[in-house]
Amino acid sequence: MPAAKKKPGLYANIHAKQERIAHGSSEKMRKPASAGAPTQASFDKSKKTEKTPGKKAPAKKAPAKKAPAKKAAAKKAAR
């Protein structure tokens, strides 16, 4: 059985429509509570499935640079 393709979410659809309108589309955003506009239940359902950003791992510190053994030995011998 092939895996089902995931549809874009509510906010992705709203953002896409706003982008189309900004680029000269003759579309208009629907007013809240008008026919076909997302309901409060749609927003609540979308909120339950939102992705929460994970904690970022702390940045790894680079090890301190040490002088090569040959140079350190040469400095001691020169004294």
Predicted TM-score (pTM) of this structure: 0.49
In Å, the largest CA–CA distance within the chain is 89
How many whole angstroms separate alpha carbon 15 and alpha carbon 27?
Answer: 13
The closest alpha carbon to 42, from 6, 9, 8, belongs to 9
Judged by DSSP in three states, 62 sits in: coil
Q: What does the pLDDT look like over 29-38, one tens digit per residue?
A: 888 888 888 8
Here the tokens at position 28 are 């208009």
Contacts of residue 10, defined as CB under 8 A and 6 or more positions apart, other chains included, come to 38, 42, 43, 45, 46
Q: What does the pLDDT look like over 4-15, one tens digit per residue?
A: 777 778 888 889
